[in-house]
């Protein structure tokens, strides 16, 4: 998986198609990501010592193939490539604008 926490992504398929957000968490073993504000589900929570319980709305994981990273220069979706910089370090780049992704 080429996506990292903090990447700005856009959903390209599914019921939340077109929504944008930052990646909160990556689940590499399942090839899924959790994006803020995308794929909101209701969770029924029992009360415990600190919380009063109720119905919570949380972000659920979506498959990593359903999101694409947003190019920082053109603000459009792009693929991720790799190259070696002048220091010999492997870095991620946007394939459309050839900008280095942080």
Distance CA 19, CA 32 (A): 17
The reported pLDDT for the residue numbered 102 is 77
Residues 24-52 have pLDDT tens digits of: 999 999 999 999 999 999 999 999 988 88
Distance CA 39, CA 56 (A): 13
Give the residue among 90, 68, 89, 72 at the shortest CA–CA distance from 80: 68
Candidates 2.40.10.10, 2.30.30.30, 1.10.357.10, 3.40.50.970; correct CATH number of 1-70? 2.30.30.30
Please give the structure tokens belonging to residue 52. 């009063």
Domains of the chain, residue spans: 1-70, 71-102
Residue partners of 87: CB distance under 8 A and separation at least 6 = none
Global pTM value:
0.83
């Amino acid at each position: 998986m080429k996506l990292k926490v903090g990447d700005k992504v856009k959903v390209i398929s599914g019921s939340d198609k077109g929504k944008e957000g930052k990646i909160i968490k990556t689940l590499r073993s399942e090839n899924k990501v959790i994006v803020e504000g995308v794929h909101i589900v209701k969770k029924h929570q029992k009360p415990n010592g600190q919380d009063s319980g109720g119905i919570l709305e949380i972000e659920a994981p979506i498959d990593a193939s359903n999101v694409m990273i947003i190019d920082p220069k053109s603000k459009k979706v792009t693929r991720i490539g790799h190259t070696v910089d002048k220091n010999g370090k492997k870095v991620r780049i946007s394939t459309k604008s050839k900008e280095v992704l942080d």
